[in-house]
């Protein structure tokens, strides 16, 4: 059996590169580690929220490449989030990276997803701080490096105010 950092019973997340799911992290449990296909380490997993097509009463089980797996990130107790904070939101059975665009009443937040250009409202229990798994440890996301990156995010939002459009146009002309 292959030695991996994920023993049997480990709670993990698995990313998917399929169209429409790129960037999504699905919760799963490791059932066993094996070496398959050209000695590549694989995990046999059971998804926490995905079910089999043939029998939707049974969780989906499959082999995944170990490079597509990571441990589940730590959760904050009673978190609050700030405007423009990077978060992961639990949506459509997976965790998706987004940005808080509004802090609402009753511990609710509006989150924008760059990949799908959607803005969806969530309660705080469906959000967590976004972290990156790098070299075996969880790290906060890198700060926005330049106003050009910030402009790229803001330009992807659908803004209706003509004043905002003029301001963005002035800002964008500085980068040309």
Q: Which of 101, 105, 71, 75 is nearest to 86 (CA)?
A: 101
Looking at the structure of the chain, the number of domains it has is 3
User: For residue 24, is it within any domain?
Assistant: yes
Q: How far apart, in whole angstroms, are the C-alpha atoms of residue 49 and residue 59?
A: 7
> Domain range holding 151?
145-176
User: For residue 3, is it within any domain?
Assistant: no
- For residue 57, give both structure tokens: 């009463």
- In this model, does residue 161 exceed pLDDT 80? no
In tens, the pLDDT along 46-60 reads 999 988 889 989 999
User: For residue 89, is it within any domain?
Assistant: yes
In tens, the pLDDT along 4-39 reads 689 999 999 999 877 778 889 999 999 998 876 667
Same domain, 80 and 127: yes
Averaged pLDDT of the chain: 81
For range 82-108, the mean pLDDT? 96
Same domain, 51 and 28: yes
CATH code for the domain in which residue 33 is found: 2.30.30
User: For residue 5, is it within any domain?
Assistant: no
């Amino acid at each position: 059996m292959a030695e991996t950092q994920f023993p049997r019973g480990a709670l993990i997340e698995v990313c998917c590169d399929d169209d429409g799911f790129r960037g999504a992290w699905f919760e799963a449990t490791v059932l066993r580690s094996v070496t398959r296909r050209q000695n590549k380490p694989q995990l046999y997993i059971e998804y926490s929220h995905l079910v089999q097509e043939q029998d939707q009463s049974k969780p989906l089980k499959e082999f995944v490449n170990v490079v597509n797996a990571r441990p589940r990130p730590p959760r904050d107790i009673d978190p609050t989030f700030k405007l423009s904070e990077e978060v992961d939101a639990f949506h459509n059975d997976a965790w998706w990276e987004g940005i808080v665009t509004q802090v609402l009443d009753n511990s609710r937040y509006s989150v924008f997803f760059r990949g799908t250009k959607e803005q969806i409202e969530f309660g705080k229990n469906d959000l967590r701080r976004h972290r990156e798994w790098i070299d075996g440890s969880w790290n906060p996301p890198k700060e926005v490096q330049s106003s050009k990156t910030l402009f790229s995010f803001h330009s992807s939002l659908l803004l209706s105010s003509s004043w905002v459009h003029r301001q963005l146009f002035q800002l964008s002309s500085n980068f040309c």
